[in-house]
Structure 1
Amino acid sequence: MSVTDNRKEKESGLYETLKVIVQALLLALVVRTFLFQPFNIPSGSMKDTLLIGDYLFVSKYSYGYSRFSFPFGFAPISGRIFGSEPERGDVAVFKLPTDTSIDYIKRVIGLPGDTIQMIDGVLHINGQAVKRERIDDYIEQSPSGVVRRVPRYRETLPNGVSYDTLDLTTHGELDNTREYKVPEGHYFMMGDNRDNSQDSRVLSRVGYVPFENFMGRAEILFFSMKDGTPAYQFWRWPWDVRWNRIGRTL
């Protein structure tokens, strides 16, 4: 083989490698933009549905697409296309209305036109108390070994969707609120950890979420690490992975 032939073979091999890399990146971009995007949970506002260290897939197609569906919001889209409205009880990721560089994840509680109010820790929708029953305690242990028990309740929305909420205190700052009237084209979002969640009850921080801001619906947990353990520390996986959470649907 001549030097020229050897050089051509190397250039051809490099070209093929670069082509494969570019194709893989484009495929990943398409999947992330139009199908599924991974997210991780950085706070305890959705305990114990979602825990710090959970990793989940969000379906981007569930609510259609807006400019926020695309990386960096670079898309010539006004409103939504192929839109399908969120349903009450969905766990959804959205762009924070007061700062669209921040992603939030909460549960859809109020639909356009609804009135929402908290009275003595009980959720009221359109003047009716939502069914709420005491079930058990959520038990968590701190790194120092301190065990904490938090009352847990099963809440059932008018459309039949049930989920668990935590009640850290009977006198929480947001246990008694004004009556909120959800504007058209907006949604009222709340965290399941009711006394430790900045959500639509805090109008200055979150408030009513425009439909355009929705990025997708949380679907399934694909990985979960104990709080404080980085996922890249694979040598700690046998002890720190929450194996029982992997594969849970939301």
Structure 2
Amino acid sequence: MVWFETILVVLTLLTGIIWLGDKLFFAKARAERAGLLDEKEPLLVDYSRAFFPVLAVVLGLRSFVAEPFRIPSSSMMPSLLIGDFILVNKYAYGLRMPITNKKFLDIGEPKRGDVVVFRPPHHPDQDWIKRVVGLPGDTVAYRDNTVYVNGVAFKYRPIGQYVGKGKGAEMTGADLLEEALPGRPHPVLEHEDYPFGMQGDGEWVVPPGNYFVMGDNRDNSEDSRFWPTHFLPEENLRGKAFLIWLNFDMDAGGVDFSRIGSNIP
């Protein structure tokens, strides 16, 4: 989505410069000639004046209020499904400049259990989504499908077997459990027979200014366990995911109205 943001910024600046430049330097002279000639406003200026306010509002909302994203993979199942369209709170962790993502106003920091959108350090041109498990200074371990934070193991409550649909049908048969992350219990999937199962064991100490993130689909998520650096720098955060506003998966029959308006656990 970096390319879309770049195009939006360029168009907003371009239309704003054209409209303001005409207003400051050419509109007055054109008005004075209007009595002698049937001179109309240039088409480019007309379009710029019409589109600049719209583009500016869209850019402001996307950059500082809320931005839509689409879930393209199964790494956050069952909390988020392929085809979910979500809204991301862009000011939860501070206001950031478009394109550069540089923070200019500090508002808050991620909490354990938050579902965050970010640009991974090894793919800075992409937007990913995972759940914050480790905060700065934490010792995070993953052993035998169990998460430990500072030596304390999360508790797990079996719910049953997961039944997927549409593009997520491949996860049918996985174990569905509730992970008792303190203050933010949520469902996770484990698949004993999955080809990548039982990988990712290890222990990591989260450095200052970084976070340890994991997908809820534990055996099918490229997360901090597998990254070259293992950690998500604070400056790579894009925002906090908070709402599903649409789900569209043709393999599952199109729109799933039951997911519209759902909060993200």
Normalising by the smaller structure, the TM-score range is: 0.7 to 0.9
Say yes or no: does 1:40 pair with 2:70.
yes
Task: Find the counterpart in structure 2 of residue 200 from structure 1.
Answer: 224
Greater helix share, structure number: 2
SS in 1 for 2:235: helix
2:247 alignment partner in structure 1:
224
The alpha-carbon deviation at position 20 of structure 1 amounts to: 2.8
1:246 aligned partner:
260
Question: Which 4+ residue blocks in structure 1 deviate beyond 6 angstroms?
Answer: none
Shift in CA distance, 122/242, structure 1 to aligned 2, threshold 3 Å:
same
1:53 aligns with 2:83: yes
Tell me if structure 2 keeps the 8 A contact 1:80–1:212: no
Q: Is the 8 A contact 1:121 1:176 kept in 2?
A: no
Distance 1:147 1:214 in 2: 28
SS in 1 for 2:191: coil
CA contact (8 A) 1:174 1:201 kept: no
Please say if residues 245 and 261 of structure 2, whose CA atoms lie closer than 8 Å, have aligned partners that are also in contact: yes
**CA RMSD between the two structures:** 2.9
Percent pairwise identity:
36
1:62 match: 92
Determine which of 85, 99, 114 is the counterpart of 2:123. 99
Question: Which has the greater radius of gyration?
Answer: 2
Distance 1:170 1:88, change over 3 A: farther
Q: Give the structure 1 partner of residue 58 of structure 2.
A: 28
Tell me, in whole angstroms, the C-alpha distance in 1 between the residues paired with 2:37 and 2:87: 46
For 1:128-162, what per-residue CA distance to the aligned partner results, in whole angstroms no more than 9, with x for missing partners?
A: 1101110122202468x99932210001112x211
* Aligned partner (choices 209, 214, 221) of residue 232 of structure 2: 209
List runs of 5+ in structure 1 lacking aligned partners: 230-238
2:148 to 105, 124, 127: 124
* 8 A contact 1:122–1:175 mirrored in 2: no
Seen in structure 2, the aligned counterparts of structure 1 residues 146 and 33 have a Cα distance that, compared at 3 Å, is: closer
Q: How is 1:57-96 mapped onto 2 (pairs within 5 angstroms)?
A: 57-66=87-96, 69-71=97-99, 73=100, 77=102, 81-96=105-120
Paired residues, number: 229
Query: Which sections of structure 2, spanning at least 5 residues, go unmatched?
Result: 1-34
